[in-house]
Amino acid sequence: MNPGGLHWLAYPWGGGRERIVRIGDDGATPLLLLAPLLEEANRTRHFLIQTMHGLAGRGFCCFLPDLPGTLESSVPIEQVSWNDWHDALACARAAIGRPFHLASFRGGALLDGAVEASSRWRLAPAAGESLVRELIRTKMAADREDGQTKSAAALEVHARSEGLEVSGYRLNAGFVSGLKTATSSAEGSVRSLRLESDPLPADARIAGTPLWRRIEPSHDPVLSQYVVNDIVEWISTCANG
C-alpha cells in the first residue's frame, strides 16, 4: 500500500457518525492530529493534509478527526457545546482503537488533554481567551462595515449570554463561555513549537507563515517539512527516553 494513501473512517457521536481522515499504513505508529478550530481549520486544511502525507512517509499512520459541527459533520454547530468536542475525541479515540501520540495545532491544543496519549506535540498553541478575543474582533470588524458600533466588552457579554454569529459560525453561549476559559493541559510529555514572530513561551521557534491567520487557505511547504521532522524527532525521543 502507498504509505501516503488516504482513507476515511468514522466514529459514532450523538446518534450519528463523524469522519476521520486517515493517511498512512496500518502497522505504522499512530498519530492523532487536532486541527486549529473553526475558520482556522479551513485555512490550514491543505497544510495539515500535506503534513500528514509527509509523516506517513516517515512511518506514521495519521488520523485527523472532524469535530461535530465542523467540516463534513451533519450536526449544526449551534447545537454543539464546548464539552461535546471533548466527548467526541473520546469517541474518536475508541474508533482508532490503539494508543497514539498527539500533534495539535493552535486551538486544537485546548482539546488534546481530553484524550489519553503517549505524548503531546503542539504548534502555536492558542489559549481559549485569545481565540474568543479574535472572534469578537472579527465580529466587530463585520459590524463596523454594517454601520454598527458596539464595544468589544458589550459584544462579549452578549456572546456569552446569547451566543455569537461570526464568519458563518453560529456559536451558542455555552460554547463561547467554554472556549473562553479553555486552557491546554501541561501534563505528561509535551513539546510546543512557535513561529519566530510569536512572543509566547515555546520549546523551540521556527520560521514560517501564520497560515491560520491568512484569509485564503494557503500552504507553506518549508514549514510543513520542518513540522514533519520535528514530530519524528520528538516522538523518537519520547519512545527512547
Does residue 152 interact with other proteins by CB under 8 A? yes
Q: Give ∠ CA 229-232-237 in degrees, rounded to 5.
A: 125
DSSP annotation of 107 reads: G
Does residue 197 interact with other proteins by CB under 8 A? yes
Q: Least distance (Å) from other proteins to the CB of residue 207?
A: 11
Buried b / exposed e across 114-129, counting CB within 10 Å, b at 16+? bbebbbbbbbbbbbbe
Does residue 201 interact with other proteins by CB under 8 A? no
Shorter beta-carbon distance to other proteins: residue 42 or 118: 42
DSSP annotation of 217 reads: -
**Cβ 26 vs Cβ 61: under 8 Å:** yes
Shorter beta-carbon distance to other proteins: residue 132 or 231: 132
**H-run or E-run covering 205:** strand 204-206
Does residue 157 interact with other proteins by CB under 8 A? no
Q: Draw the binding track, 7-46, toward other proteins (x: CB under 8 A; -: no contact).
A: --------------------------------x-------
Shorter beta-carbon distance to other proteins: residue 103 or 131: 131
Shorter beta-carbon distance to other proteins: residue 39 or 66: 39
Does residue 205 interact with other proteins by CB under 8 A? no
Would you call 163 helix, strand, or coil by DSSP? coil
Give the residue among 34, 5, 6, 22 at the shortest CA–CA distance from 96.
22
Which parts of this chain interact with other proteins (CB under 8 A)? 39, 130, 133-138, 140-142, 144-145, 151-152, 167, 197-199, 209-210, 213-216, 218
